[in-house]
Amino acid sequence: MNADPTGQSAPAPERQDARHSGPAAVIVLAAGAGTRMKSRTPKILHPLGGRSMIAHALDAARALAPGRLAVVVRHERDRVAEHIAALDPDALIVDQDDTPGTGRAVEVAVDALDAALAAEGAELAGTVVVTYGDVPLLTPGLLGELVAAHEAGGNAVTVLTAVLEDATDYGRILRGEDGSVTAIREHKDADEAERRIREVNSGIYAFDAAVLRSALHEVTTENAQGEKYLTDVLAIARAAGGRVAALSTEDRWQVEGANDRVQLQALAAEHNRRTVEAWMRAGVTVVDPATTWIDSTVRLAEDVTVKPNTQLHGATVVERDAVIGPDTTLTDVVVGEGATVKRTDGTKAEIGPGATVGPFTYLRPGTRLGADGKIGAFYETKNAVIGAGAKLSHLGYVGDAEVGEGTNIGCGNITANYDGVKKHRTVIGAHVRTASNTVFVAPVSVGDGAYTGAGAIVRKDVPAGALALSIAPQRNAEGWTEANRPGSPSAEAAAHARAAVARAAAENQAPADSPAPTEEGK
């Protein structure tokens, strides 16, 4: 050891700040290319339950309250790093270099954590957890158990294992008589007895930081793949006298990764099953769990009912006693207490308490329906504020508009809001009554209590209490069909009808010179 030129030894670095309640660090490995996804989207950015796989992984990691959180990236580095920074701005993003392997990925993360702590006069010490960005169902609870078992046993390494019915292709866990892990045997290297072992390596670990740092320096790339394997740390730690233990779970889904879309969908289905079941246990009625999909970001109150073929996505919130479905998809929609929404597609909309929506309704962003209001069958709304108790019952479109409380919009009404270049706004007051097939040509306003006549085209503002009419005299061109569409079914039908009218008129007309009947002739 080199002596300090002053004759004093250099001060030992301080240990990492222990004010956090969890492990010293969590390292999330997210550098893989995920080529089996066959996608332009990096594997860990593929969604599941409304969030990317890496978002789920970071949630579980951060829930441990670690002193530091590091994420190792490489493939599509900038895109992945931007996504991670948006999810967790405090995460340390570490770039893996050209040396392949999980061992090298962890090594660069430890080096980066040491460098970050060195600036504070500290070093990484204590428990370091290693997990993955493509293991989305791993829970904070299971990770917490891993840390607790590791620290209680004073272990050098603790590996999280799973018990599988079919362990083919997985590395098997070999244990000694005291229960400690003696080795991890890869499937291709296992003998017949070892292949009967159902306990497999998940690749998720808790390490003592000092053991990990030292062992990684000894790991080489001298193997068939030319990679630095993280599993080599276990043998090195054991050879140095450290205890290598395992925590086993029978919930295989928590340690399952997604390497292709088949595995991703299997994980998504299991995640959804657990989510739906959790909501049912929390007081939500789900009529058909098999056809109901609920993102992890959705919030439901007690006594909500969800009917078949319903999907609830994003930041959707449904309040108590509301009924959603059947055949409904809501994304970022807020549904008020006691509202009913059926056969509806809605995005970024608000539905007030006691309101009704559907069937066959399309709520586009910016729709806000007031309490006890109604948007009925075959209706589309966009950027529209609809007052309490207002009714848009059927066959219409309201866009870029305000509709006052208690107003009743008739069948077939639309707001003509687009002039080909700009969108314009329509304002309809309170307690207005509009007749069928009214068109509001924006920009235009209709005062409180006004009416419109059937087929009105409203181009000018309507004062409060006024009746807006568009009246043109009706003209009938007699014989037009027979003259202009000769030989057509319509012309033949018209001719038959005209002939029938003529016959009826002839039969009902008595001859003008017929004598009046006599008494004898009666």
- 451 in a known ligand binding site: no
- Alpha-carbon gap, residue 230 to 103, rounded angstroms: 4
- 454 in a known ligand binding site: yes
- 101 in a known ligand binding site: yes
Strand partners, 15: 123
- 259 in a known ligand binding site: yes
Question: Distances in Å between the alpha carbon of 354 and those of 22, 289, 338, 363?
Answer: 46, 25, 5, 17
- 329 in a known ligand binding site: no
- Alpha-carbon gap, residue 425 to 419, rounded angstroms: 11
- 453 in a known ligand binding site: no
- 437 in a known ligand binding site: no
- 134 in a known ligand binding site: yes
- 102 in a known ligand binding site: yes
Cβ-count burial 157-187 (b if 16+ within 10 Å, e if not):
bbbbbbebeebeebbbbebeeeeebebbbee
- 171 in a known ligand binding site: yes
Question: Which residues, 6 or more positions from 363, have their beta carbon under 8 angstroms from its beta carbon?
Answer: 333, 344, 345, 346, 347, 349, 351, 357, 375, 381
Please name which of 300, 308, 312, 304 lies closest in space to residue 326, comparing C-alpha atoms.
308
- 85 in a known ligand binding site: no
| Tokens matching residue 363 | 């709520």
Is there a contact between 61 and 84 (Cβ–Cβ < 8 Å)?
no
- 265 in a known ligand binding site: no
- 170 in a known ligand binding site: no
- 29 in a known ligand binding site: yes
Phi-psi region of 126 (alpha: psi -120 to 50; beta: other; left: phi over 0): left
Cβ neighbours around 223 below 10 Å, total: 12
- 347 in a known ligand binding site: no
Which residues are marked as active site? 394
- 30 in a known ligand binding site: yes
Please name which of 157, 180, 156, 161 lies closest in space to residue 171, comparing C-alpha atoms.
161
- 31 in a known ligand binding site: yes
- H/E stretch holding 32 reads none
- 2 in a known ligand binding site: no
Question: Distances in Å between the alpha carbon of 509 and those of 144, 501, 512, 515?
Answer: 101, 13, 9, 15
Question: Which residues, 6 or more positions from 498, have their beta carbon under 8 angstroms from its beta carbon?
Answer: none
- 310 in a known ligand binding site: no
Question: Which residues, 6 or more positions from 66, have their beta carbon under 8 angstroms from its beta carbon?
Answer: 20, 22, 23, 24, 25, 26, 129
Is there a contact between 21 and 65 (Cβ–Cβ < 8 Å)?
yes
Strand partners, 444: 426
Determine the residue type at 320: R
- 418 in a known ligand binding site: yes
- 401 in a known ligand binding site: no
Residues annotated in a binding site for Mg(2+):
134, 259
Residues annotated in a binding site for UDP-N-acetyl-alpha-D-glucosamine:
29-32, 43, 96, 101-102, 132-134, 171, 186, 201, 259, 364, 382, 397, 408
Residues annotated in a binding site:
29-32, 43, 96, 101-102, 132-134, 171, 186, 201, 259, 364, 382, 397, 408, 417-418, 436, 454
Residues annotated in a binding site for acetyl-CoA:
417-418, 436, 454
